[in-house]
Amino acid sequence: QKEVEQNSGPLSVPEGAIASLNCTYSDRGSQSFFWYRQYSGKSPELIMSIYSNGDKEDGRFTAQLNKASQYVSLLIRDSQPSDSATYLCAVKYNYGQNFVFGPGTRLSVLP
Amino acid sequence: GAVVSQHPSWVICKSGTSVKIECRSLDFQATTMFWYRQFPKQSLMLMATSNEGSKATYEQGVEKDKFLINHASLTLSTLTVTSAHPEDSSFYICSARDTSGSYEQYFGPGTRLTVT
């Protein structure tokens, strides 16, 4: 069974710090990885996609992928209170069209 | 770009009635749309994958006769909850995948269904 695991949190960081969110997945054949942000009562919003090993940066966000270790992470630099949300890791496996979502990590950025 | 809309944003209906939810991709074509359900403080649960012009693929445990999905065009998919019961009350969210080849899914704003 394909699984995506995340620490449920809450992860609390002070404003201005780096928030580090981690995700592990079970299937080595996975090819595409995504991070979504979901505010309470709202639908998920795509933050980053990453397909190759290494780092991918977009503004304050950096996604890191290590396929050998089967983990993907999201770093948020200069965290702001507005970053407080649940972050969902999603993995697309080699066959099929749908994603498998992790349970999400709740991030709280303290002013 | 990559905007997905849903209508209605919230609906209250009586037990036993049916409710239709629309999902539209506004600025791109989507051969594939997905329907999710999310209960409070829980993660997304995929209900079905909807392909334009063909029958939807339902996840295990999802009743296809209760949750009717139609994907009649490249920009519209509908989910009809038939004979709704209070336990169907949930947050229903659709997502769409661009036909350009990217695997990214873009989510609609969701529909909050309350069955009384």
* A7-61 residue pLDDT tens: 888 999 999 999 999 999 998 888 899 999 999 999 999 999 999 999 999 999 9
Q: Look-up: residue for tokens 């089967």?
A: A70
* Tokens linked to B27: 């600025």
A54-75 average pLDDT score: 96
Q: What's the farthest any 2 CA atoms get from each other in chain B?
A: 42
The pLDDT assigned to A1 comes to 66
Distance from CA of B14 to the nearest CA of A (A): 23
> In B53-73, which positions are buried (b, 16+ CB within 10 angstroms) versus exposed (e)?
eeebbbeeebeeeebbbebee
**B110–A42: do the CB atoms touch at under 8 Å?**
yes
Q: Do A98 and B104 touch (CB under 8 A)?
A: no
Interchain contact B62–A (C-beta under 8 A): no
Query: What is the pLDDT confidence band of residue B10, given thresholds at 50, 70 and 90?
Result: very high
Q: Which of A4-8, A34-38, A71-75 has the lowest mean pLDDT?
A: A4-8
- Residue pair A88/A102 in contact (Cβ under 8 Å)? The answer is yes
Tell me, yes or no, if A28 comes closer than 8 A to chain B by beta carbon: no
Q: How confident is the model at residue A98 (pLDDT cuts 50, 70, 90)?
A: confident
What is the side-by-side order of every strand in the sheet holding A4-5?
A4-5, A19-25, A71-76, A61-66, A54-58
> What is the rounded CA–CA span in Å between residue B13 and residue B116?
6
pLDDT grade for B42, boundaries at 50, 70 and 90: confident
Instruction: Kindly tell me if the per-residue pLDDT of B101 is higher than 80.
Output: no
The neighbouring-strand residues paired with A62 are A57, A75
